[in-house]
Structure 1
Amino acid sequence: MKTMLMWVGVGIALGMTACGDAAAPAVSREEAAAIDVATGDEPAAPYERATRALSAGRMLSPAGDNAVEYYLAARAQVAEQARAQAALAELQPYVLIAAEQAIARGDAPEALRLQGLIERIDARAPALPRLRTALAALARAQAAREAAIAQEAPQPLAPAAAAPALPSQAAVPVARAPTSQAEPVPPPLAPAAVQDAPPPASTPPAASRTAQGAPPPRLLQDAQPRYPLPALRARIEGQAEVAFTIQPDGSVRDVRLLSSTADGMFDASALAVAQRWRFEATGRAHASSRTVRFRLPAGGARDG
């Protein structure tokens, strides 16, 4: 019974994390009562705290009071190690999605915190090198932007040097030109070693980061989404449309939800599977979208 309630909580928390403001499936009064009876008001075990955090939608935040960190604490206990590790393996793709979304919106501290959670879940996770590279690029971009702002700020003017005092006319003898013929005034000398700077070479306009109007690259590696456990138990089918950017190397980044059915029950699974798609490398970025459909096995869908 506890395992079933835990996975119901996983479905609820993941749906709320992926959809943002979209409504997540509510826990029934009977399920909430069963959780309270099973754990009590102040659960002592980290695994119980993780279950409660998932039910409340605190999968990744706030820091120190979220399901992932409680599962990590539970994994340190011998009795809870196996099922805590299984839960962390299920949640790891969603931690990665949240980290990449934090990088996309320029929130380096949050991305760094989520990267740390992934390192604690699996120090050899394949996505970690990509995350570290993206975080380093974000730090360089922010440093360059701050330097540009500092250069554009007005600089204080240096005080003008005091002009030298002119000697008194009485102390300086005045040379008078002869009255018969005026001396020709020599033309001013041109300054030496001064060359006109060559005009700057014209540079072509920067190419757009995302190719517009170009045919999308060919899909090389597809993946099957995980059927959310709450939807599977309720025999619910649906779909979710996601938008994403195909990187020049064919990987997928910046996955975001466009629309979905079943009150967001399939959102988290659709966002996670999109990260596993691979397209033909074209050397350019392409904006694309795709619909992920969730269908029950033959004979398993609800009648009507």
Structure 2
Amino acid sequence: MDTRYTSIARHRVRGAVRPVAIAIVAIIAALAAAAWLLIVRPYQQQMRLDAGGAPAVSAAAKAPTQAAPANVQAMDVNQLLAEASKALKEQRLLAPAGNNAFEFYLRVLAKQPDNPVATSALRETFPYAASDAEQVVNSRDLNEAQREIELLAKADPTNYTLTILRSKLDAQRKLASQQQQQAQDQEKAAQLAAQRAATEKQEAAKQAEQQQAQLAAEQAKAKQQRLEQQQQAAAQEKAQPVAAPVASAETADAVLLKAANPSYPTAALRAGQAGWVVVGFTVTAEGRTSDVHVVDAQPRHVFDRSAIEAVSRYRFKPAMRDGVAVESTKQQKIEFSTGR
């Protein structure tokens, strides 16, 4: 066989293969570039959170609330991935509702179930998103926490972290319910105490008013009796002839023959309250007391009535002037003590 012919054939084959190889390499390079631009680069950007670390605080706390794009339903996969990438950069993993990375990724998977970017992103960011949800639970934003946990469950329904988050959420709900019940009980107790205090105050004021009215009526009655007795005595003196003075006639002050113990007021006795009352009164010519009234007392209006009733039962040997029984005035201090 002619070696020249073989060499020429080989050269021709090589010349034919070279364009094909170049075309294949070009296609592979184009595919690699497209993969880098459409898959790898967006994924790396999505994963670059705080220099590769987990968010320090929840996305709801860091990022301001933003309204979701108006045309989310009409977005294609690439647009949804772009919105998800933007949400990741702004650390909006789970919040706000409708405008967060997880919801955008889930929409991507709804349109393209095998999308590698969305699948990987949800898997890699799940721990960080769960941490955000836990912080929301701890802050007792219970409705928001429930929404975020449900969103996590759509991404990975079998993840054990969901069990922990739900347990913490239930515990916070029970604690919030207990605290709310305690607050209601305390408020109700305070209202009942205020009503009871107001009722007691009204009753005490009414009782004091009644006692004062009764005391005033008794004093007025005693004064009227004293005036009548004075008028009767004046009429008797005018009707009787003036007796000749007797040098040996008796002259003396009224002498107490029979005293009466005052009754201790029930309320003051229960309260252990003590005091005294100075009572002024008139001793009639018959040895009885009239015009019994309070001169001074400490405390006022507590023992007055008991003191007046006691003195009203006193009996005296009347004062004598020149052998004749006459009216006289006296004062008596009555002590009230729980130890008597």
* TM-score for the superposition, normalised by structure 1: 0.42
User: Highest Rg: 1 or 2?
Assistant: 2
